[in-house]
Amino acid sequence: MNDEWETLNPEKDVVHFHQEAFENLPRTQIVFQLLKEVKKFWAKHCTSSGSRVFDEGFECYVLIPGKQWRTGKIRVRLEFCPDETELEEKQENNRSDINPESSPLDDLRQQLKGGEN
């Protein structure tokens, strides 16, 4: 089986499970409905089989508009979005490394002041 996972469109794509993957959930639903139900399910039932949702996934069919049903697995992943990018953090660190009381331009300023006299 292919290990390349794809992100489903929550508003358009439809999922149909081969078997009952979650207790009391319809086997076929739009992805956004599934995500809503998974959140409820996860809050109630934190079992060992529930962890499959986040690891190897559950076998299912997926229907993407304009395409045929595809077989595969579905899993849930968490993503992280940092408040600051690494570049912004590096720039902030570089700014803190510079002593505000002494600037690389101080020598040039002294030379210019000396030339004015």
Distances (CA, A) of 80 to 31, 32, 75: 20, 19, 17
Sequence-separated (6 or more) residues with CB below 8 Å from residue 74:
8, 15, 17, 57, 58, 60, 62
Query: Pick the residue with more confidence: 45 or 17?
Result: 17
* Per-residue pLDDT at 105: 72
pLDDT per residue as tens digits for the range 26-67? 778 777 787 777 767 666 665 656 566 766 788 899 999 999
Q: Report the alpha-carbon distance of residue 74 to residue 27 in Å, rounded.
A: 13
Between CA 35 and CA 17 the distance in angstroms is: 14
pLDDT score, position 97 = 61
For the entire predicted model, the pTM comes to 0.38
Helices and strands in the chain, H and E counts: 3, 4
